[in-house]
Amino acid sequence: MTKPTPFTLRIPDADIADLRDRLARSRFPDQAPGEPWAYGTDVAYLRGLVQYWRDHFDWRAEEATLNAFPQFRVALDGIDLHYLHVPGVGPDPMPLLLLHGWPGSVFEFLEIIPRLTDPARFGGDARDAFTVVAPSLPGYGLSFRPGQKRYGVPEMADCVCALMHDVLGYARFGAQGGDWGAAVTSRLGYAHAERMIGIHINLMMAAGRDPKAFPNPNEEERHYLAELAHWMHEEVGYQWIQGTRPQTLAFALTDSPAGLAAWIVEKFRAWSDCGGDVERAISRDRMLADISLYWFTAAIGSSFWPYYARLHGSVIVPPGETISVPTGYAQFPREILKPPRNVAARVFTDIRRWSVMERGGHFAALEQPELLASEVRAFFRELR
């Protein structure tokens, strides 16, 4: 096993200058008639964002914030896997794997990690401390290089499990995730149950998306089916293009930073608890840090691959199978889909904690780091 090596992110000055030059030469479409954002990203908003990105955004400051955490790379499964490894401050920190999704990155976790590793610093109990391992998912950001193999959810789960057990020596560990991170976390609970202390997720990707599974729905299930129908009719276009023609889309988003920003910002706005103003939920600088990481690493095409794999037969849990490890779930009000507990229990057979949150959306670690950290601590406290 290759030994991990310390890593510090330093994007070349020439790459930053090239980005600014491309931003200065952006071409914008006209605004379709009707309400802003009705047909996708609002042109006026994106013009302002691109101008700020070009003239005021401080990449070096965001880079330094990330570099304040211990980072490493290790040759694993044929790729160079990047991860943060932050020791806990407490009497017996639990190892916790923290997993992002799309269009996220490890920049999602900069506020929540200290709340998990050093809870006493935020008024919590040091006995709840975790040692956090937060990888860039294989094929994403700093775990990508051109030409490397592509990963679906099962392969991602195998890779990060090998990181925790084979590389870092954790016999058992917890995992937490949202979006694809929730899918990988769920897969860990299925395929690597013997390694898992428990799993905590804030998106139920492995449960209940087939309307035929509800022959006689109750009121709660009817509400969920209506939510699901709206999602399938209005919101899944990005999944179909990313899942069927990822290479074609990658040309545009790898060549145009404005196009990349438009593609990602629309999801930050649509899926966050922002009331229509994305910057109420997620700061402009942190959004641009995430988008810039996709840009500088040219990883957007590779990041689409889980969608392709899922549409072409890759599964989180095989039909009829279940996940039996202790499971916690935080349901944020602006999450994209919120299945009822009885539906989730068909797959997750040992749900120990089910919390309905007061505020927050799909990007919980980014939007509500204190709320999510408190939930994660509370869930795993019973498993120590």
- Is 52 among the catalytic positions? no
The catalytic position among 118, 158, 179, 285 is 179
Whether 179 sits among the annotated catalytic residues: the reply is yes
Backbone dihedral angles phi then psi of residue 57, each to the nearest 5 degrees: -65, 135
Sheet holding 196-201, edge to edge: 5-6, 71-76, 79-86, 130-135, 94-99, 173-177, 196-201, 327-331, 351-356
Which residues, including other chains, have CB under 8 Å from residue 254's CB and lie 6 or more apart? 260, 298, 300, 301
Peptide bond into 138 cis (omega under 30): no
Question: Pick from 278, 286, 93: which is nearest to 173 by CA?
Answer: 93
Measured CA distances, 193 to 9, 128, 160, 161, 330 (Å): 34, 22, 14, 11, 21
Residue 16 CA to chain centroid, in angstroms? Answer: 25
State how far the Cα of 82 lies from the Cα of 74, in Å rounded to an integer: 7
DSSP string, 33-99: SSSTTTTSS-HHHHHHHHHHHHHT--HHHHHHHHHTS-EEEEEETTEEEEEEEE---SSSPEEEEEE
CB 174 within 8 A of CB 380: yes
Token code pair at residue 108? 């999602």
Out of 190, 307, 308, 329, pick the active-site residue. 307
Residue 294 CA to residue 261 CA, distance in Å, equals 10
Encode burial over 272-305: b for 16+ CB neighbours within 10 A, e otherwise. Answer: bbbeeebbebbebbbbbbbbbbbbbbebbbbbbb
Q: Which residues are catalytic?
A: 179, 307, 362
